[in-house]
A and B are shown apart, each in its own frame.
Chain A
Amino acid sequence: MHLQKLKLIWYFAYKEILLTRMSSLLVSAIIACGVITSAVTIKLYQTMSSVPLQDANELYVPLVDMWGPGGWDGGAPPPALDYFDAISLVNERRARGQSAVYQIDAAVRSIGKPYDRHALGYAVSHDFFKMFNVPFAHGSDWHVDGGIMQDYEVVISHRLAMALFHTDNSVGKDIAVNGRSYQIVGVMKDWHPVPRVFDVINDGGFEARPVDFFIPLASAVAQGIKNSGFRYCNSKLLKKSFENIEHSTCIWIGYFVKLDGPQEYNSYLAYLTSYASEQQLAGRFTWRPNVRLLSIRDWLKYMHVVPNSASVSALVSVCFLLICVVNSSGILMSNFMRRERAFILHRALGASSSDLRAIIFTYAFIVGVFGALWGWLGLESILFVLRRELPFALSDKMHLDLELLLVVFSTSVLSLVASAVAPAIRCSRLA
């Protein structure tokens, strides 16, 4: 009996679609339009604003004002550290983990080969790998912190290993970085965090070139490898050679710490303040301590990593989807009004008003599935175009994964069911 009824509902819903072929097609297309735009813009926004790290909540960016009032915009401390402060903070090791980071544009080659290749790397401290969950395919990070011992050891990417040695496992081999020999201690798996949270200062976080290697900060400094990216000075350099950058107040080093819980946050903030007052006492700073300790999320906001257009277009497309829902609701409404007599006949032949509602919602569900199919096809093609147009780092993430597909499917069906609510209520009032 129950099954019989269900069958009848399906049958009538199916009949409805056949009878209103064109407008059903139109409704599914309209909903698909709305779903596609929302899915694309939200996916883009989500990718740009995500923090691609497991324990992102434990990472913080300390900033210390070494320039004094008026040095940086709006009285905030400059957005990076100078050499002196970065090294002092690294050496005092007051956080659970800490790493200074600077970008290197180097020439690398395997020992014995005559030709160099361009490689993008970073000089980092030992804790970096654990803090940013760098995945290793072979080997591991270097063992002794470069802050104390100068080990010429390097961690390279899978890509660089393949390019230099044609084999993935090149641990133990040597490469030359800017002419100095470094021993490979680890090979990373493919690792492309988007946005590149540890280097948003250089290319807004969406740097196209992949990371090829990491070397110890101390070795990089000892070898005199300059940073390739951002450097900003508020005064003239004093001495010649690389040393002058070390002794200047030029800012060029990114700094990250790992802290667990509000208690550690508070004590680290207190430590930063006391560090700044010590500098004031020592005569380096002639102003009161001005420090910040930003969570990684606040840091990305502070640096405007997500462009305005990404958030505006995401919100606007959701509104567009709403318009589509309201719109198809109107179309369905006039459809069913034209079919009023048929519904009255159903009622006369013994269908309850809830049965009529069921028919309409079943109808909406089927059309919604069609809409989802349109949406899927449309989305595949739009993403295909986007992947060719976007910068590499982003395009890599713009794939139609199962999650997105489920979202498209459910939004499309839900939107159609939502737009069928008004007609359903109206029709069930028929007597």
Chain B
Amino acid sequence: MPGVKYFLKSLLRRKWFLAIVLGQISLSVAVMSNTSSLIWQNLEILRRPTGVAEMGLVVIEQQFRDDGGISGDWRKLNDQLEASRREDVRMLRGMTNVKSVSVISTLPLFNRGVSFSQIGTRPDQRKGLAYTSVDYGDQDTVKTLGLSLISGRNFIQGEVQHVKIYDTPSPSVTIISEHLSRRLFGEKSAVGRSVYLGGESRPVEVVGVVKDLAGSSTGGWVSKFAEDTLLLPAISNRYKTIYAVRVADPHEGIFKEIVMSSLMGLNSTRLLDLSDIRDYSQIVSDARRSNRGTLYAMIALVAALIVVVGGGIWGISRSLVAERQKTFAIHRALGATKRMLMLSVLLEGFVLAVIGIAIGAVLSEVLSGFLLTHFEVEHLPSVFVFGAVIEVLLVNQFAILLPSVEASRVAPAKLLRES
């Protein structure tokens, strides 16, 4: 194909354009691969289930007042806190719109009351411990949160430990997430086996496994074991007590106001504001705000990139074609078919793109290596580089499609007219 050789030669004469196209394509590969990996990471986080039936769950975060007078006598304080809590729960259970109520220490993605522990499968294990997020709840937690139990059973009444103020709970049974179960016991059933928490020698028996239960912390250094969670049956007498309430009709408008006034009616000295009574779906949405933000920003960046790069390549190849109309006309006069002209322009673009992409792949590796050493960002998986290569190639070929058609339309008669 002598035509191809000719085009390559003519291209080399236009060094500036060559540099511009190559520069654009290679940088786009680097940008595209890194943004795609960010998009994928955030999608992954957003799609990760909490395990909770989010609609119709209301969370009340309230705090009993510390009465200076009795904080010296911890027994009296303990009894008072316990009585207040029982009274609250009884009242909430009695409300018409309420299906079930549970006292909890934290919730998936709640970011408060975050607690975690070492976990092992042998007593006094010191090496090779896994970490796990810990939630405390009662026998109604599974039902109230709407967790799906895939094997074993729920907690029973007698198993729920009532923990005095300042004491640390030490329940003897637990419900764990499937993720943790797989991590500790592989494919074998976890039900009936024992785990050991915090390097202690006291066994905690696994009675149930739930499909999903996300950890309470969303970010930072605990996100490594975000899905390795366990639920322990214990209610502590604390100032700050959190109630999860499953409602029958999530759309009842003034439910929160009614809850607020009823709770204040029972005990007006507590710390409770209308903003402390929240829909769980709102909590989840707030917790994932920054992930969503990054996702949208990166999608917008990719869109802008496609428009800018595609438009740029289109513009350049159009002017290249326009400039060479005479040459094309000669080619046509000498017997080249329309198809041949179109293909040669497309091929020219393809060859350029391949060179650019080769540079770009190296560049994105360099970029990723830079991020790795200076910012401790994980290494870019090569699947994203590959994906970016395909994307950029597609954008490039689409951008030169129209100019190539234009090139094929040049009529041999053009020569006559020009001269």
Contacts and interface: CB of A to CB of B under 8 A. Distances in A.
A234 B289 CA distance: 33
Contacts of A233: 117, 168, 198
A338 B129 CA distance: 70
Contact of B378 (A73, A223, A308): A308
Given A37-B301, A389-B289, A316 B34 contact: yes
Interface residues of B, number: 77
Contacts of A406: none
A327 interface: yes
A118 B63 contact: yes
Interface string B91-135: 000000000000000000001001111100000001111010000
B17 A330 contact: yes
Contacts of A322: 23, 27
A244 B166 CA distance: 8
Interface in A75-131: 79, 105-107, 114-118
Contact of A107 (B65, B116, B293, B370): B65
Interface string B21-48: 1011001101100110110011000000
A284 interface: no
Q: How large, as a class, is the contact surface on chain A?
A: 35 or more
A247 B290 CA distance: 39
Interface string A308-344: 1101110111011011101101110110011000000
A56 B98 CA distance: 52
B74 A241 contact: yes
A181 B323 CA distance: 86
Contacts of A309: 38, 41-42, 294
A30 B24 CA distance: 13
26 contacts: A70-B126, A70-B127, A73-B131, A179-B66, A179-B68, A224-B71, A233-B168, A235-B200, A242-B166, A301-B376, A303-B221, A307-B290, A308-B375, A309-B42, A311-B377, A316-B34, A320-B31, A327-B24, A327-B311, A330-B17, A333-B17, A333-B316, A334-B319, A390-B289, A391-B289, A426-B16
Given A301-B376, A323-B308, 20 more contacts: A69-B126, A180-B68, A223-B71, A224-B71, A226-B166, A230-B114, A232-B117, A234-B199, A235-B199, A236-B200, A242-B166, A313-B301, A317-B301, A319-B34, A327-B308, A330-B316, A333-B20, A386-B293, A389-B293, A390-B290
Interface of B: 16-17, 19-21, 23-24, 27-28, 30-31, 34-35, 37-38, 41-42, 63, 65-69, 71, 74, 111, 114-118, 126-129, 131, 164, 166-168, 170, 198-200, 202, 219-221, 239-240, 269, 271, 273, 289-290, 293-294, 297-298, 301, 304-305, 308-309, 311-312, 315-316, 319, 323, 367, 370-371, 375-378
